A and B are shown apart, each in its own frame.
Chain A
Amino acid sequence: MDTTLKINGEERVLQADPRTSLLDALRHHLGLTGSKKGCDHGQCGACTVIVNGRRINSCLTLACMHDGDEITTVEGLGTPEALSPMQQAFVTHDGYQCGYCTPGQICSATAMLEEVAQGWPSHASADLSGGMELTDAEISERMSGNLCRCAAYPNIVDAIRDAAGKGER
């Protein structure tokens, strides 16, 4: 079946079996291999992409459910010549080692800061009515869906804090 996806600002028509996950559609049908498959079960976050402004696990959703949706993958956030502020912060703070979880971390962190800006509370938030402080605990909790086995977590938290303009620890 045909599905029209707006990926990184460009309309792409996908012809695929309706059982195709958004992740497989990106990687196998559309040649966008930046998004990674770490578990295919929504438990590791390596496949995180941004759909209509929200971060989701692209392995847990079918591509055909996203007709007309705006999808941003890591390829759409920055380029080697012009890194996004989040990507630049990961360089500054050494926020990875093997790089496999990194595209998911970048997409997740980028959308996460937007969630905070919109006042969505998390499990770590003291106040559920919004306006939370972006503490380290808040960042860690909100990023706990993105596994990094190299465990660059302390540096990832530093990078996100920096990208959010919250300065050094």
Chain B
Amino acid sequence: MPKDGGIGASSKRREDVRFLTGDGRYTDDINLAGQAHVHFLRSDVAHGRITSIDTSEAEAMPGVVRIFTGADFEAIGGIPCGWQITSRDGNVMQEPKHPVLAHGKVRHVGDPICAVVAETLGQARDAAEAIMVEIDELPAVIDMKKALSGDAPKVHDDLENNLCYDWGFVEENREAVDKAISEAAHVTTLELVNNRLVANPMEPRVAVGDWAKSTGDYTLYTTSQNPHVIRLLMGAFVLGIPEHKLRVVAPDVGGGFGTKIFHYAEEAFCTFAAKACRRPVKWTSTRSEAFMSDAHGRDHVTKIELALDAENNFTALRTLTHANMGAYLSTFAPSVPTWLHGTLMAGNYKTPLIYVNVKAVFTNTVPVDAYRGAGRPEATYQLERVIDKAARELGVDPVTLRRQNFITEFPYATPVAVEYDTGDYNATMDKLEEIGDFAGFEGRAEESKRRGKLRGLGINSYIEACGIAPSNLVGQLGARAGLYESATVRVNATGGLVVMTGSHSHGQGHETSFPQVISEMIGIPEDMVEIVHGDTATAPMGMGTYGSRSLAVGGSAMVRATEKIINKAKKIAAHLMEASEEDIELKDGQFSVAGTDKSVAWGDVTLAAYVPHNYPLEDIEPGLEETAFYDPANFTYPSGAYACEVELDPETGVVTIERFAAADDFGNVVNPMIVEGQVHGGIAQGIGQALLENCAYDENGQLVSATYMDYAMPRADNVPFMTVDHSCQTPCTHNPLGVKGCGEAGAIASPPTVVNAVIDALHRGGHTGIAHIDMPLTPQRVWAAMQGGSPEQGEGHGSAGARQLGA
């Protein structure tokens, strides 16, 4: 029977009412007295040398407060990168400067050149039009292959070339992998593009900087998934403001999906300008500005080779990936194609030998960084596509081939440096066959055929590494940060609790699910617990929300702090009941003495803690407030199996999704309703990548998909009803809640599921020559492939033409 409270209950979200009535408080809803507005004049060319900037006419225009250029930031640090990768040759990656405002050169369309601060936004825009900027345009480097050629123009003149790093993993395995592939009974090879995407949270980024003349304190209100990280990066590395003089607030945030993790130039600008102008400075991104300044996602070009023996066992895997970094290194960009991607190349399979080579490349495009899944979708896509292709080449059932190679014993140490603690991949596949009604597929395919349509079934298995991450491990891997999480639990005299957490909620429903955990632990109603987050002035230092880590890491910190609270409360209860501390039990909000009928209520104990008239003052301090920092022992490994049925119209190439089923193993589930919403959202974004979305540049580096008219977002009529199941649960073995994380699964697992289904439909329709079509599978691409055309499509598609990397 469904629970009506605590862990496992689908408690309705307490965030709901303010969102539904328009009472949410998002960053753009914040207006400070006397604030000025900033408009950024951005480069409209991809690459060029700034020869002059004349702001004199603009400065005389009405309402202009001050105009800033790169020269104003010469004494200021650049935007830092938080992860350093070491190349195969032992050298550290090439790390270019990333100025707040362009200095000397512009390096991508959207690179900010000048910032106009004015009384009104309209005045700032008008004045920006009067600024005279002379730029000597240089040839743009867009294509990754051309970027690496000897005569390519350099994105950064002071670097050796456009190669950020050349990473090999695990380098010691390389020769053994090469040998296994050369000796294999069968090798399946696939080249593919993981298309460049834009995260597109519905709330554009906003920053409001404030500086208090009276104290010299700074406050930044910003649309961030991790305000403490912004405080640290901006304070310590860019502006030189000590953390105790800088407060960062991220109030209600309208979606993040990764792109609001990073520290952006506009945040540093508004904070800096607030002091320089001695008044608050506000910036709100327009949507087109978001397209050319929010960090993009994906953009990998990969060749993958899977070796099998004569019994169809996977024997080795080798991949070569070119990963686009864009023009500068965004905060966590270097980690995405490496540690978040290479370590997942084993997938759900016991492939004994794996070698991953990644070349990260600078181009004249917007920086690329983590987007929902970050590295893991890229790993899963290539792996699950090549396995599907191998099954087809070998004439075996794709489910059978996967099952045969599944890891079945845990813990399992992969050849790519991670240890899966638990999982049951056959269980989720069994569940998928049931909820996806595989048995009924042939009948549905026949029915489609009668209507002149081609129906295909695509399946996929996935694993992801979430709950990032053990700090000592990521430190060895190049992270310049720890990845623990924190929580302070403050119990008030009357028994209510406030949890101040470093985990930030921007749609994940922490305000609802976190109290469910505390309610379960203490036995008090959920509405006695309030979650406070998103403000460095109230929450302890925390690393924020990304990588499906909030409950696994932040929730664990909260559990640890609550355990400390309970331990202290038991001491107080023991004193009140004149009993031994070891005999005290806590259940349903009552402390009792084991084996007696003596009890005191939770509220009596909390009151005693703050009114310590009858209190063991000689043993413990008054008050009831505890903080815990939780550093995970390992990643968590959610896994599962997905199925998609598509119908393809052979006349037009239009693909529609008819059925979608997801069987996930997230370990223990705190709020099934919230989990279901997260899975829906992830799948929809994955369907977007597979069928609709593509961030496209032309050969001159113009961003040709910078509005919703040009960048196809999934809409209500593109997203099917989905059958979502998370009843297969192998709890995480190393965190106190046994949870694994659910936010990214859908985005990781659905793109290969959809593409596998389309290829299946084409083969069933007799188009057996089509081994692959690059995402997004637009009607144009599918139709062209059916006519025997090249699936690559030429200009304006794929990853800046990078598909031609080919072999």
Q: Which residues of A contact B (CB under 8 A)?
A: 17, 19, 27, 32-41, 43-44, 46, 73-75, 77-80, 83, 87, 90-92, 94, 96-103, 106, 124, 136-137, 139-141, 143-157, 169
Point out the residues of chain B lying under 8 angstroms from A151, CB to CB. Answer: 680-681, 683-685, 714, 719
Cβ of B470 under 8 Å from chain A: no
- State the CA gap A80–B721 with chains docked (Å): 30
Some 29 contacts from A to B, beta carbons below 8 A apart, are: A33-B29, A34-B22, A36-B202, A36-B203, A36-B254, A41-B287, A43-B287, A43-B709, A75-B22, A78-B20, A83-B21, A92-B12, A94-B674, A96-B20, A98-B201, A98-B506, A99-B24, A99-B507, A101-B202, A103-B20, A124-B717, A140-B715, A141-B716, A147-B713, A149-B255, A149-B713, A152-B681, A153-B680, A155-B680
Are A99 and B21 within 8 A (Cβ)? no
In the complex the two chains form, is A150's CB within 8 Å of B677's CB? yes
Q: Is the CB of B286 within 8 A of A80?
A: no
- A35 near B22 (CB under 8 angstroms)? yes
Most buried by A among B19, B714, B715: B19
Give the shortest distance, in Å, between A97 (CB) and chain B (any CB).
4
B199 surroundings in chain A (CB, below 8 A): 149
Taking a contact as CB atoms under 8 Å apart, the answer to whether A100 and B26 are in contact is yes
Q: Are A141 and B707 in contact (CB under 8 A)?
A: no
Pairwise interchain contact A87-B681, C-beta atoms closer than 8 A: no
Q: Which residues on A sit within 8 Å (CB–CB) of B720?
A: 154
| A28 to B506 CA separation, bound complex (whole angstroms) | 24
The answer to whether B708 and A41 have CB atoms under 8 Å apart is yes
Task: Kindly state the separation between the CA atoms of A116 and B743 in the bound complex, as whole angstroms.
Answer: 36
Q: Which residues of A contact B19 (CB under 8 A)?
A: 96, 99, 102-103
Residues of B within 8 A of A41 (CB): 287, 707-709
A73-B22, A83-B20, A147-B715 given as contacts; is B677 within 8 A of A155 (CB)?
yes
Asked if A153 contacts B716 (CB within 8 A), the reply is: yes
Distance between Cα atoms of A37 and B257 in the complex (Å): 19
- Chain A residues whose C-beta falls within 8 Å of the C-beta of B681 in the assembled complex: 97, 149-152
Q: What residues of B have a CB within 8 angstroms of the CB of A92 in the complex?
A: 12
Residues of B within 8 A of A19 (CB): 122
Q: Which residue of B lies closest to A157 (CB)?
A: B716
Question: Hey, which chain B residues are within 8 Å of A44, CB to CB?
Answer: 202, 287, 708
A37 to B205, CA, bound (A): 11
Q: Which residues of A contact B255 (CB under 8 A)?
A: 97-98, 100, 149-150
Beta-carbon contact of B719 and A98 below 8 Å: no
Interface string of B106-127 (1 = CB under 8 A from A): 0000000000000000100000
Whole-angstrom distance from the CB of A143 to the nearest CB of chain B?
A: 5
Cβ-closest chain A residue relative to B15: A99
Q: In the complex, which of the residues B204, B257, B677, B685 contacts A94, with contact meaning CB atoms closer than 8 Å?
A: B677
Contact of B716 among A36, A83, A96, A144 (CB under 8 A): A144
Docked pose: A124 CA to B717 CA in angstroms: 10
B677 touches A79 (CB 8 A): no
With A and B bound together, what is the CA distance between A19 and B254 in angstroms?
Answer: 27
Known: A17-B122, A149-B199. 16 other contacts (CB 8 A): A32-B22, A38-B202, A44-B287, A77-B21, A78-B20, A92-B12, A94-B677, A98-B252, A98-B506, A100-B24, A100-B254, A102-B20, A150-B255, A153-B684, A154-B719, A169-B721
Q: How long is the Cα–Cα vector from A38 to B203 in the complex, in angstroms? A: 6
Nearest chain A CB to B394 CB, angstrom units: 36
A residues within 8 A CB of B257?
Answer: 149
Closest to A158 in B: B721
| Chain A residues touching B, majority SS | loop
Residues of A within 8 A of B722 (CB): 154
Whether, in the assembled complex, B200 has its beta carbon less than 8 Å from a beta carbon of chain A, the answer is: yes
Please tell me if the beta carbons of B22 and A33 are within 8 angstroms of each other in the complex. yes
Whether A154 and B721, one on each chain, are in contact in the complex, defined by CB atoms closer than 8 angstroms, is yes
Q: Are B253 and A98 in contact (CB under 8 A)?
A: yes
Query: What's the minimum C-beta distance from A163 to chain B, rounded to whole angstroms?
Result: 12
- Kindly name the residue among B199, B202, B286, B508 whose own CB sees the greatest number of chain A CB atoms within 10 A: B202
- Among A37, A87, A153, chain B packs the most CB atoms within 10 A around the CB of A153
B13: nearest residue on chain A (CB-CB)? A94
Given A149-B255, A169-B721: A94 touches B203 (CB 8 Å cut-off): no
**Chain B: CB-nearest residue to A123:** B717
- A91 CA / B389 CA spacing, docked (Å): 44
The answer for the CA separation of A71 and B674 in the assembled complex, in Å, is 34
CB of A100 within 8 A of CB of B717, answer no
Q: Which of A83, A124, A141, A148 contacts B202 (CB 8 A)?
A: A148
Q: Does B509 contact A (CB under 8 A)?
A: yes
A153 cross-chain contacts in B, Cβ below 8 A? 680, 684, 714-716, 719
Residues of A contacting B721 with CB < 8 Å?
136, 154, 157, 169
Is B485 positioned at the interface, with any CB of A under 8 Å from its CB? no
Q: Which residues of B contact A169 (CB under 8 A)?
A: 721
Bitwise, B213-226 to A at CB < 8 A (1) or not (0) is 00000000000000
A152 touching B677 by the CB < 8 A rule? Answer: yes
Given A39-B708, A44-B708, A141-B717, A149 and B201 contact (CB-CB distance below 8 Å)? yes
Within 8 A of A (CB), among B219-263: 252-255, 257
